[in-house]
Amino acid sequence: QAICGKVKREKMKYVFLVFFMNLLPQYAGKSLRRDDSYPKTFEDIKNEIAGYTDIAKAIIDLAVHGKAQNRSYERLAVFADTIGPRLSGSKNLDAAIKYMFSALQEDGLENVHLEPVKVPHWERGEEFAMMLEPRNHSIAILGLGSSVATPPEGITAEVIVVASFDELHKRAQEAKGKIVVYNEPFINYGETVRYRSQGAVEAAKVGAVASLIRSIASFSIYSPHTGWQNYQPDVPQIPTACISVEDAEMMSRMSFRGTKIVVHLKMGAKTYPDSPSFNTVAEIVGSKYPEQIVLVSGHLDSWDVGQGAMDDGGGAFISWEALSLIKDLGLRPKRTLRLVLWTAEEQGGIGAEQYYQLHKVN
């Protein structure tokens, strides 16, 4: 259920667009509300938009040439450099939420508050993998979020390399007691990511003892990806990690030549009880329809590797910037602009899901 970063950003762009278009419908002549009570036509809307030309220009000028030039980047750099990675359940994420709560207040935004959410608390621990046959080779791995650990002594097993779930199912007899290596081709993130989210479950169903998944990426250098993965009830939980594209390809070539491959895998991940956390909220209250909400958002949590500057520091901070720009220009929109900085997105959009359940009535 991990939300794809790209899809998420696409959604956010859409929200952003809607924001600047002041909640306009997308189709000419169609009405905005489902009950058809909204009388505006596309022509009305075009005219309304045209009325905002000067305001739009002022916002753009402030962001591109004015005192807000590079502001969002600088804010993000200080935040990411100071806090670092912000995994769900970690002290760093707590620090990030506190930091943003203060920063949004200092920025003069309204109704700055925190909404409690219980979030998963998984820690990577020590992890490594070593190819023992046909030769010693250190395999770079990154355990997947929610993965169980290996036993303390690790797992040493022969490898079976497959290119797809179909191949795994056809060769199910061979997989028992082995480590399944998925060398699925990279088509695109949305399509290929199912090997990461379901790889362990499918491998466990045919009796494998662990699964190693080619990173969902076009290349790796020496940096496998991580991400969330999902166990299923009644299917044994086996350790699972991503490996580099290059190592997956190499094991695939070796396997194709009939070479026996043996890998030693050790992972020390732990899952703790869910932790208290928060969605972080700030607003500019609307002058005419304050109960109507234009929502802009990003998520404060990140993975524990890297700094989460791109995913999703950038998304969070341009969302904040949208409100800052409006405030700096002394504008008061008709509808309430609400910034929400989600928690625990990487674990499957936990913060956003709770927000939806709490607020769906309005």
Report the interface residues with a second copy, using CB under 8 A. 77-78, 81-84, 134-135, 137, 221-223, 250, 253-254, 257, 305-307
Angle 273-228-122 from CA coordinates, rounded to 5°: 25
Minimum CB separation of residue 52 from a second copy in Å reads 36
DSSP 225: -
Tokens at 156, concatenated? 């040493």
**Nearer to a second copy among residue 55 and residue 309 (C-beta):** 309
Minimum CB separation of residue 146 from a second copy in Å reads 22
**Nearer to a second copy among residue 134 and residue 190 (C-beta):** 134
**Nearer to a second copy among residue 79 and residue 355 (C-beta):** 79
Q: How far is the CA of 5 from the CAs of 305, 316, 355, in angstroms?
A: 15, 13, 19
**Nearer to a second copy among residue 168 and residue 254 (C-beta):** 254
Minimum CB separation of residue 292 from a second copy in Å reads 40
Q: Please enumerate, as own/partner, the contacts of 45-51 that have beta carbons within 8 Å and a separation of 24 or more.
A: 48/22, 48/24, 49/21, 49/22, 49/24
Do the Cβ atoms of 69 and 324 come closer than 8 Å? no
* 312 preceded by a cis bond (ω within 30 of 0): yes
**Nearer to a second copy among residue 254 and residue 326 (C-beta):** 254
CB atoms within 10 A of CB 75: 18
Minimum CB separation of residue 77 from a second copy in Å reads 6
Quick one: the chain helix, strand, coil %, rounded to 5? Answer: 35, 25, 40
Minimum CB separation of residue 90 from a second copy in Å reads 12
Catalytic entry in 127, 345, 346, 353: 345
Residue of 108, 186, 176, 120 whose CA lies nearest to 147: 120
**Nearer to a second copy among residue 163 and residue 293 (C-beta):** 163
Tokens at 335, concatenated? 């509808």
Q: Is residue 345 annotated as part of the catalytic site, yes or no? A: yes
Minimum CB separation of residue 216 from a second copy in Å reads 15
Do the Cβ atoms of 263 and 179 come closer than 8 Å? yes
Q: Given CA atoms 115, 119, 125, 127 in this order, what sign does their dihedral have?
A: negative
**Which DSSP helix (H) or strand (E) runs through 112?**
strand 110-123
**Nearer to a second copy among residue 83 and residue 265 (C-beta):** 83
DSSP 126: S
**Which DSSP helix (H) or strand (E) runs through 81?**
helix 71-83
Minimum CB separation of residue 222 from a second copy in Å reads 4
Residues marked as catalytic: 345
